Structure 1
Amino acid sequence: MSADSEQNTAAAEQNPDTAIIAALKRQLLRTEAAERRRLLRVLITGSAIRLIILVAFPGLVSHYLSSRVELSTPVTSYKRLVEGVHLSIHNTSPYDGGLFHQSPLLLILFRLLHVLPDLFTNIVYVAVDAMIALTLAKLAAAKADKSKSNRVPGEIRFVCTPSAVATMYLFNPLTVATTLAKSTIVFSHLAIVSALYAGISGLTNQAIMFTAVAAHLSLYPAVLIAPIALMAAVSRKQAQQRWLVGDIALTLAKFAFATGALHLLFAAVFGTQYFMATVDFTLRAADLQPNVGLFWYFFIEIFDEFRPFFFVVFQLTALAFAVPVSWRFRDDPLFAGTMLVGIISALKSYPSWGDLSLFLGLLPLFEELAKYLQYSFLSANLLMYGVGLAPVFWHLWIELGTGNANFFYAATLVYVFGQITLLFDLGGAKLRRELDIHYPETRTRTVIQE
């Protein structure tokens, strides 16, 4: 035995606490290494499955999944994106007609991919999905570190590991189907989760840029600037013990500048008609193609003179929750952001199953709320019935001609009601847990709100 080993052994014998701490550190390092290996295996397996299906079954992807109205909408359709790229390459503005309604960011990206074989496009979609899963895993680790002291007295928690969070996102059938359909909503999802991770990590400027990009890609993620601003304020509040309204205002001003700069850049390159073909098109829900949302059937049936009023009502319903939800859950802006993602998924003008997949991917971050949920069985069944019945009723309506639009819209209503039920249940669970934290004596009591 060397002299150094003998000295370390003697020191450990003299101070057993030091030996215990060293052993715990070694065990922690081994656990972290094992978790990283599990996360890597999950990412590789999920990516390989997607790439194999995209390469081995190109017909399934190009002729079936990419045409499903549950997966592809006028503002996320890969086929429309390809048409827009084709027009752009031939020096024709894709925004002049009524076909292309997606962000210039996607147009620029896919113009670069157009000259490469299709395999590279497949790799990009698979890589984006893997990056979303990795960012969700990082979010889980960051949230676990920040919530160690925010517990109910005597609570024993099972923390959802980063690899488990990535697994539940990557192997969600809705996520897989969205990627295989090559819906461009995945790029918006990457910007959203990147903004939330940057915000919770204290990287406010990066969070603002990602939110601005997400807003240009899909419009509705602009509401996430409210929880992003609160994240910036929370970090300063912890240092100064007070809310800094100036910090919130500064964050909002930076976001306005970033979105305005992107708008001016795109207007200079593509002309102002891009704004009418993207933002205005989404707000007016100008294309009433059936989807899994609430807009299309309602505005097909309503009289023309009432349409402007109800467009304002429907859009305000989707956008007006940003401030009240963010302020009510101001002590946990990440939860507020998750709630807003769910609200967007249910109430936007052109939703798809991909929107629900992101919301479900964020839910494992809040595993501590699982025991407080009261209607999880109901909401899960509503969502499964909505997802399962939509293709069946579409087949009856469009392909067999034995049904009508009411069939498909009924499945849509069940689907949206399932999301709203889950949102109410999740919000109630969060409020009840906050009550248990601040007033532990109420844990065994039933709370009745009059």
Structure 2
Amino acid sequence: MPPNTQQGRPPKQAEDSAVQPTQTEATRLAYVLMVGSTVRLLAFVIFPSLISTYLSGRVELSTPVTSYKRLVEGLHLSAHAVSPYDGGVFHQSPLLLLLFKPLYYLPSIFTDLLYTVADAFVALMLAKLAALKANSASQVSFLGETRFVCMPSVVAMLYLFNPLTLGTTLVKSTIVFSHLAVVGSLYFGLQGRTNRAVACAAVAAHLSLYPAMLIAPISLMADGCQRRCGSIVATVAKFTMAVGLLHVLFVAMFGSEYFGATIDFTVRVADLQPNVGLFWYFFTEVFDEFRLFYFVVFQLTALGFAVPVSWRFRQDPLFAATFLVGIISALKSYPAWGDLALFLGLLPLFEELLKYLQFMFLSANLLIYGIALAPVFWYLWIEQGSGNANFFYAATLVYVFGQITLLFDLGTAKLRRDLDIQRPEMRTRTVIQE
């Protein structure tokens, strides 16, 4: 197989074998999904007071654009014939209002079940992505390489039993549905089902804005092995049309003010509630006359990676998409631990890069320290009054630095492995750029 084989739609027989894994592996996957779902339902039923008292208000898990409490407020306003976007509290997509409106009148167990099912579907699609990638014709190895394959059931297990994923689900953060749309777009894109991938990407963009970046690698997936500019442009045009149609639909249903309360709210970072990101503290301190300039700089820093990253890793659009998910997790305006959970859930798809990672220990420690220190410093700042905002922001800086370190390490590992495949004689040499 030539080393420059490009990432695209797998052959028909490979696709069939990926979608239909062996009976043993299918049983393991079903068992993992069942146990993960049972754990979530039991936690919802047995520990409701613990969740509502200690978890629901955590700024590390819930933000103004993903808060379930704010969603309930929007549903309450909508049920009483008041626009949910008039009060300045609700800042989430109308898609969530339409999804949760029937559940508003039902017992809470149905909402718990919806979150559990959504999480299970994310894990299932991650498992199917792993199977598709393992059976893809573009999987190239160099002579003598020893590889292990991360089984689909293991990929699902690593996602479902990640404490960050579990905490995000238990507080009922609506980011879970953004994850479902993102993973769905990648799954359908890798299969070559362009229309479904574009539809999922459009939904993800309306739910969380930043997943709009993923249309770049998705267009490369849909284009397959033939890098035709016309096909890529057509995919981007379909995405633009889908986003536009959803916008027109929402304007007709909720009025034009929905846009200012959702997309514009996210771009302007209108609510400076503390979170695990970089925006809130900086814009609390910056002078008003410089706010617009830094809003543009900060947002372009996050959104500007879409095209260059997708182009640099155009031979492997799935990796480009995973890399962009990591960038979104680190640089979006309202991040939470759930964003990192999705990024970590995608990493097992690239088990061949594990031996190339040079700073895994450093990245892991930075992330662990950042995650562990954030609740402590929040307690010292808000509860005890013996600390200040600098304490909590220092923990978020460590957390974000851990993600950026992991991203650099992951990108370097990918480039080095590609070089080893293209130039086998360079495998034992140190690469120095001058």
Give me the TM-score of the superposition, normalised by structure 1.
0.91
Distance 1:109 1:429 in 2: 41
Aligned pairs for 1:38-437 within 5 A: 38-146=28-136, 149-235=139-225, 237=226, 243-437=227-421
Distance 2:43 2:332 in 1: 30
Q: Aligned AA for 2:127?
A: A
- The superposition leaves residues 306-361 of structure 1 with CA deviations (integer Å, 9 ceiling, x where unpaired) of 00000000000000000000000001000000000000000000000000000000
- Residue 448 (structure 1) shift: 0.9
Distance 1:249 1:233 in 2: 10
Does structure 2 conserve the Cα–Cα contact (< 8 Å) formed by 1:234 and 1:331? no
- Residue 282 (structure 1) shift: 0.1
Distance 1:88 1:63 in 2: 26
Distance 1:178 1:403 in 2: 26
SS of 1:98 mapped into structure 2: coil
- Residue 234 (structure 1) shift: 2.4
Identity value in percent = 70
Does structure 1 conserve the Cα–Cα contact (< 8 Å) formed by 2:125 and 2:183? yes
- The superposition leaves residues 367-396 of structure 1 with CA deviations (integer Å, 9 ceiling, x where unpaired) of 000000000000000000000000000000
SS of 1:95 mapped into structure 2: coil
SS of 2:56 mapped into structure 1: helix
Give the direction of change, closer, same or farther, for the CA distance of 1:263–1:56 in structure 2 (3 Å limit). Answer: same
Distance 1:257 1:150 in 2: 36
Give the direction of change, closer, same or farther, for the CA distance of 1:305–1:365 in structure 2 (3 Å limit). Answer: same
SS of 1:67 mapped into structure 2: coil
Q: Aligned AA for 1:161?
A: M
Distance 1:31 1:70 in 2: 37
Q: Aligned AA for 1:232?
A: A
SS of 1:367 mapped into structure 2: helix
Distance 1:61 1:288 in 2: 24
Distance 1:297 1:370 in 2: 35
- Equivalent residue, structure 1, for 2:432: 448
Q: Aligned AA for 1:140?
A: A
| More off after superposition, 317-326 vs 138-147 | 138-147
- The superposition leaves residues 213-240 of structure 1 with CA deviations (integer Å, 9 ceiling, x where unpaired) of 00000000000000000111224x1xxx
Distance 1:381 1:226 in 2: 32
Runs (4+) of structure 1 moved beyond 4 Å? none
Distance 1:72 1:106 in 2: 15
Distance 1:318 1:62 in 2: 33
Q: Aligned AA for 1:309?
A: F
Larger % of helix: which?
A: 1
> RMSD between aligned alpha carbons?
1.2
Give the direction of change, closer, same or farther, for the CA distance of 1:259–1:367 in structure 2 (3 Å limit). Answer: same
- Residue 148 (structure 1) shift: 6.1
SS of 1:49 mapped into structure 2: helix
- The superposition leaves residues 184-241 of structure 1 with CA deviations (integer Å, 9 ceiling, x where unpaired) of 0000000000000000001011000000000000000000000000111224x1xxxx
Q: Which runs of 5+ in 2 are unaligned?
A: 1-17
State the aligned residue count.
Answer: 416
- Equivalent residue, structure 2, for 1:21: none
Does structure 2 conserve the Cα–Cα contact (< 8 Å) formed by 1:346 and 1:420? yes
- Residue 258 (structure 1) shift: 0.2
Distance 2:139 2:311 in 1: 21
Q: Aligned AA for 2:84?
A: P
Q: Which has the larger radius of gyration?
A: 1
- Equivalent residue, structure 1, for 2:15: none
